[in-house]
Chains A and B, each alone.
Chain A
Amino acid sequence: MAEASKMQVSDEIAIQITGMNKWYGQFHVLRDINMTVQRGERIVICGPSGSGKSTLIRCVNRLEEHQQGQIVVDGTELTNDLKNIDKVRSEVGMVFQHFNLFPHLTILENLTLAPIWVRKVPKREAEETAMYFLQKVKIPEQANKYPGQLSGGQQQRVAIARSLCMRPRIMLFDEPTSALDPEMIKEVLDTMIQLAEEGMTMICVTHEMGFAQAVANRVIFMDQGQIVEQNEPKEFFNNPKSDRTKLFLSQILGH
């Protein structure tokens, strides 16, 4: 695996979250979140289920609305303004736990749809880009199949390629390997590591601690809707400060 230190992090701010709060009805899911992500940073968010980590990254591209505080992505603040939301969404790629490929379209059509309709790229050019990224995730031969004909690992790699076709500046990963069989996790992680090496700004919600140690420059631990601890990976795993973090780490690394 690659060395995290090799990868460049710039001073430019990619995402700035300040004093953000979110409620589901009466339930306070995200509490006073403050977080800055620099361009080129690779952040891993972990924590027990229900801790709000998925909700947090879904707020970054407005799949979820926040009620208080400020989220600025690439200089654009997320408000109810639909134009801003569409702008942010076309800059931010997202990979889901359950892939969410479009089952009625071929792999190639899945990849070219958004570039053609959102970015107004000519069809020929969009297909060339799509093939380029399919080569990159190592499944160009599947281009004309339908998602249902692919294995879970292949589908997730297609989903990553689909996001990359929009040439995003930031990638969000929402538990990308949680729905996969163990033998397919590696192929997806390898793709993500490759992406990290190329300097993509990434926020990954994942339980793959090996991945965190290899590529993250920061690990964030969340519990009960709050950021409990964040640190660079070596310190985070070897020398956790809070009791909650210690308990969590002992539970997931303990066996």
Chain B
Amino acid sequence: MSDAFFRTEMTPPKAPPITERGVVKWLRENLFAGPYNTILTLVALYVLYLFLSSVIPWLLNGVWNANSLQECREIVTASAGEGATGACWAMIRERWNQFLFGLYPQDLYWRPAVALGLLLVAIAPVLFPKVPRQLFWLTLFYPAIAFFLLWGGSIWTPIVAMMGFGVMALAYRLLVPLSGVTVAAMLGVLAAVLWWLFIDAPLAEALSAALPVGLQSVGSDQFGGFLLALVIGVTAISFSLPLGILLALGRQSDLPVVKMLCVGFIEFIRGVPLITLIFTAALLLGYFLPRGTNFDTILRVIILVTFFAAAYLAEVIRGGLAALPRGQYEAADALGLDYWRAQRLIILPQALKISIPGIVSTFIGLFKDTTLVSFVALLDPLRGVTSVVRADLNWKGIYWEPYIFVGAIFFVICFGMSRYSMYLEKKLKTDHR
């Protein structure tokens, strides 16, 4: 007999056997596979029971209507008996506005509210491609609008400041045919900085003297709570991404000076704790800046938080750049694309896509780190506002409730970012692996 064999019919695919499917199978495999596994499951269930048996009554006995912690406790004792515990949400009911707005004047709450509403409209075209492109005009001018709404004062301050960007664009346009993209961009930035340093303040003053239009001004010391966290977080997020991209590209540059500056910046910023930088921003910069410059504390903190996030982003994006095969650079070169076009059309779209999880992690970290501004006496929602609330005799001794409230809002925002990043990854997935 020989081993020769030939097939006359191809075997069709079949469903797996019944033991490989179903809920029972899953339970057995994951919870009760062998004695050790079973013991661990039972212990875990017991711990879960201990935790829930103390938390659930606390939540169920929660009190919403009271004027002080004392009153809360009395209501809990009256309704659930001696020794029962209960959450005192009445504090949130009375003080929610401080958690959201800090010490912002109550009659002006509409201004941050409108700014937040416009923010959602302004970032829509950035986040979702289906939104009409014309909305980008709002996105472009949103920083000035938001500044005017939040801080108030003369309308000319943000307008003249935005004109600095106009100067940058104009200088770039004029210089690009003469000197190429890189030099033109640098000179454009220089022109804008000169504008802000020397022309901005006198021009804004002259204009507001001639045509005084404006809103009641609100000082930075009145900002607090999530208003403060969002102002710092959103600004730093939107400016750190472009800065991070430039740093990552600079780190790979063939020009030794550019490379050295970028590496130095990244390594210095990453090597120093954020709190140190925030202290520097709030206290030390005051000594170095020229006498009489009124450089807002929140603005200083925003700048250093932006630098901090940009340094981390630069490394995340460098990872994405390194993951691209050399062939992509070569194909772009071989087609005659110059450096900036190759980066913009071929390299960065792919590198950024790879880096999305890392970028969003950095953003989430940045947003949560905004609570660190409590160290320079700004009213962050977690420590700043909570201590203001506790300073009130009525709410002295309240512990879990403010943290749970603040934590929940942070969770909603951060979870939102995380889900968006997953949506984006899925949408950009074109490799069909």
Contact = CB atoms under 8 A, between A and B. Distances in A.
Contacts of B334: 61, 63, 89, 92-94, 96, 163
Interface stretch (B240-248, B275-283, B291-299, B338-346): B338-346
Given A104-B349, A149-B432, A114 B327 contact: no
B53 interface: no
Given A103-B430, A104-B430, A148-B432, A113 B349 contact: no
Contacts of B345: 113, 117
From B327, B331, B341, B345, name the one whose CB has the most chain A CB atoms within 10 angstroms.
B331
Contacts of A148: 430-433
Contacts of B45: none
B271 interface: no
B267 interface: no
Interface in B415-433: 428, 430-433
B142 to A, nearest CB: 28
Contact of B336 (A86, A146, A162): A86
A118 interface: yes
A98 interface: yes
A100 interface: yes
Nearest to A86: B336
Given A100-B331, A113-B345, A90 B430 contact: no
A96 B327 contact: yes
Contacts of B336: 86, 89-90, 114, 118, 166
A175 to B, nearest CB: 13
Nearest to A146: B430
Contacts, number: 70
B354 to A, nearest CB: 10
Contact of B337 (A63, A114, A149): A114
Interface in A154-184: 162-163, 166
Contacts of A100: 325, 327-328, 330-331
Contacts of B349: 104
Contacts of A104: 349-350, 353, 428, 430
Interface string A99-125: 111111000000001100110000000
B333 A63 contact: yes
B431 A103 contact: yes
Interface string B296-336: 00000000000000000000000000000101101101111
Nearest to B332: A102
Question: Which residue of A82, A89, A96 has the most chain B CB atoms within 10 A of its CB atom?
Answer: A89
Q: How large is the interface on B (under 10, 10 to 19, 20 to 34, 35 or more residues)?
A: 20 to 34
Contacts of B346: 102, 113
A166 B428 CA distance: 27
Nearest to B428: A104
Contacts of A92: 334
A166 B336 CA distance: 9
A99 B325 CA distance: 12
Interface centre among A93, A99, A100, A146 (most CB of B within 10 A): A100
B335 A114 contact: yes
Contacts of A103: 350, 430-431
A21 B350 CA distance: 36
A100 B330 CA distance: 8
A113 B335 contact: yes
Contact of A146 (B333, B350, B432): B432
Contacts of A166: 335-336
Contacts of B341: 117-118
Interface in A209-242: none
Contacts of B327: 96, 98-100
Nearest to B328: A100
Among B327, B333, B334, B337, which residue has the most Cβ atoms of chain A within 10 A? Answer: B334
20 contacts: A82-B338, A86-B336, A90-B335, A94-B331, A94-B334, A96-B331, A103-B430, A104-B349, A104-B353, A114-B335, A114-B336, A114-B337, A117-B337, A118-B337, A118-B341, A146-B432, A148-B430, A149-B432, A163-B334, A166-B336
Given A86-B338, A90-B335, A102-B350, 13 more contacts: A63-B333, A63-B334, A89-B335, A96-B334, A100-B330, A102-B346, A113-B346, A114-B337, A117-B345, A118-B337, A146-B432, A149-B432, A163-B335
